[in-house]
Structure 1
Amino acid sequence: MKKLLYLLVIFPAFTFAQFNFEPSLEHPYGLPNPDAPSELMDFAPLIGECQCKSELRKADGTWAEPVSMIWRFKYIMNGMAIQDETLKEDGTYSGSIRQFIPDSTRWYVHYYSTPSTVTKLPTWEGKKTEDGKIVLYREQKAPNGTDGFYKISFYNINESGFKWIGEWVDKTESVIYPTWKIDCSNGKNSIYQPDDEAKIMAATKVFSKAYMEGDFETIANSYTEDAKIFPNNADIIAGREAIKKRWMLGSGTKILRHEINPEEITFLGDHAYDYGYFQGKSENKDGSVSNWRGKYVVVWKKENGNWKMYLDIWNRIRN
């Protein structure tokens, strides 16, 4: 009986401990799961609550008066996906579930709303573009029957907010007709943003995972464009592309384990620094296995809501 009571007490605590990235009192909009696709961070600057103005195009081609609305984004499914909802002052509400599927390298967004409840949710798909926009498409004919898409775009994304536009486009996007626009710029409520320390911790885990998988593109994108690294017994290496090439030099070695353990993280506005220890295990070209550890200092810079490494210095500790 004592053993049974012990299990009943311990099991719930163990179960809830598995969901560290769900929304909570400390993190009301959840946290990104380090095991999620790195593209999950595309929407990181939008996480939280924003005061917005929504405008719809009327049948005569003019724009209706702006309607105030709240747009909230949060992490769900233990930090593996994103859910958002809009609450408009005219009494209409909507939301969506956003998941990135690595096999197709695309976002899939399932939309629902109170004005048009349906048994099958419409789906948009797309990705983040090189110019920083998030662009999604869904096939939709024009009123005259012309084939095309309804295209939605998030743009001007920054710490203060973002803008959104919905427009019908033909297959070649030579014909574009905007029908809906939402301005959330300068509307961000920073009180509800996920904890910056947790974001940096998540970024270090993404880096370690990429290092073990030999994903040099993700490693490079962990740094700012103007980043500099200070490898042991080597010159300073500047710039994301040069940093990527430096990490690729060791591609003949298989990284079996890599772990970063910060001792302290300090924030100075849009910059932060942390220091600590790293450790790992690697399989060398001759088949031998090496265990190693070292110390590091990193200066971080916040860019569009994401913390990236700006200065990175490390060296090994002799065993």
Structure 2
Amino acid sequence: MALALQCAPALAANTQSPDADAVKGVTEEFAADLAKGDLKAISRLYTDDAKLLPPNADPISGRAAILAYFEKTLRPDLVGGATFDDYEIYGGEASAISLSQIRMLDPKGQVIEHGKQTIVLLKQDGKWKIHRDMWSDNSPTSP
């Protein structure tokens, strides 16, 4: 066990994605499309058989269901944008994992949610697509 813990930092360093900028670009495109209110463009960032794993809810499967979910939760009258930072990106040529901090903004640019996101991406036809998307809010839970 001690050896595994000592090797973990070296393993993480060796699995940094060679395509980190392109992987990061997917979430940056998500943020740009959200700022424009273009939820259809956001849905096209996902694979056909993608799954959203939202907090306190059942998984949402498939691009059409993801678009329907976003049409309810990311409406421009509720959400004005998002910012992502503090990235950690790991993976290889065909798959990657991106961890980041996320801030959801209201239409006036005020932070309405601050949390973390983990996405699994697959490269399809030369483009990175989100295959699994899981996030959580950093707000304390109610008793």
TM-score range, shorter chain: 0.7 to 0.9
Aligned residues: 121
Deviation at 1:262, TM superposition (A): 4.4
1:31-50 paired onto structure 2 within 5 Å: none
What do residues 278-297 of structure 1 show as CA deviations (whole Å, max 9, x unaligned)? 013214xxx9x553211111
Query: 1:247 is matched with which residue: 45, 50, 70?
Result: 70
What do residues 25-76 of structure 1 show as CA deviations (whole Å, max 9, x unaligned)? xxxxxxxxxxxxxxxxxxxxxxxxxxxxxxxxxxxxxxxxxxxxxxxxxxxx
Over the matched positions of the two proteins, sequence identity in percent amounts to 26
Greater fraction of residues in strand = 1
Report what 1:208 is aligned to: 31
State how far apart, in whole Å, the 1-side matches of 2:37 and 2:76 are. Answer: 10
**2:113 is the counterpart of 1:292:** yes
**2:47 is the counterpart of 1:224:** yes
What secondary structure is seen at the aligned counterpart in 2 of 1:261? strand
Q: One-letter code of the match for 1:301?
A: L
Deviation at 1:212, TM superposition (A): 1.9
What do residues 211-267 of structure 1 show as CA deviations (whole Å, max 9, x unaligned)? 122111111001000100101111001100000100000216343331112431011
Q: One-letter code of the match for 1:298?
A: I
Q: Could you say what the CA RMSD is over the residues aligned between the two structures, in angstroms?
A: 2.0
**2:93 is the counterpart of 1:272:** no
State TM-score, norm by structure 1.
Answer: 0.36
State how far apart, in whole Å, the 1-side matches of 2:52 and 2:95 are. Answer: 16
Could you tell me whether the CA contact under 8 Å between 1:223 and 1:309 is conserved in 2?
yes
Runs of 4+ in 1 over 3 A off after TM superposition: none
Deviation at 1:269, TM superposition (A): 3.5
1:1-319 paired onto structure 2 within 5 Å: 196-250=19-73, 251=75, 253-283=77-107, 290-318=111-139
Q: One-letter code of the match for 1:302?
A: K
Could you tell me whether the CA contact under 8 Å between 2:24 and 2:98 is conserved in 1?
no
Q: One-letter code of the match for 2:102?
A: F
What do residues 132-159 of structure 1 show as CA deviations (whole Å, max 9, x unaligned)? xxxxxxxxxxxxxxxxxxxxxxxxxxxx
Query: Would the alpha carbon gap of residues 222 and 262 (structure 1) be closer, same or farther in structure 2, given more than 3 Å must change?
Result: farther
Query: Structure 1 regions of 5+ residues with no counterpart?
Result: 1-194
Q: One-letter code of the match for 1:296?
A: Q
Could you tell me whether the CA contact under 8 Å between 2:34 and 2:80 is conserved in 1?
no
State TM-score, norm by structure 2.
Answer: 0.76
Structure with greater Cα Rg: 1
Could you tell me whether the CA contact under 8 Å between 2:82 and 2:102 is conserved in 1?
yes
Greater fraction of residues in helix = 2
What secondary structure is seen at the aligned counterpart in 1 of 2:130? strand
Could you tell me whether the CA contact under 8 Å between 1:274 and 1:299 is conserved in 2?
yes
